Structure 1
Amino acid sequence: MTFAIDRTQDTSWLLVIPDEDPGSGPVARIRVPTRVPLGLHGNWTPAGPPET
């Protein structure tokens, strides 16, 4: 997954690119109504019930 910025509309796209053939282009595009800043990063966390 990666973000792409559309500077003409000040919006972004979340692109899902297959790891088997990245040159084939994205398999999904999700429009984000605001511009996502360059350098945005996050972490994956394990799914599961909340800790109590």
Structure 2
Amino acid sequence: ARRAGVSRSTVADFEREARRPLARNLEAMRRCFEAHGIVFLPDGVRRAKGCPDKG
């Protein structure tokens, strides 16, 4: 949440499917994941080549 610049409750609500985040928050989370090596695909996600397991 901190790295994406959104509140912890935004992430928690999204994870438990309590509500859909505002478009700007969803975009911020997506950008954060992509900046840390996550690739979004039509059928799921994967780590980018060379992306460490942790970090």
Q: More helix by proportion, 1 or 2? A: 2
Query: Which has more radius of gyration?
Result: 1
Higher RCO (CA 8 Å, separation ≥ 6 residues): 1
- Which has a greater percent of strand? 1
TM-score normalised over the length of structure 2: 0.19
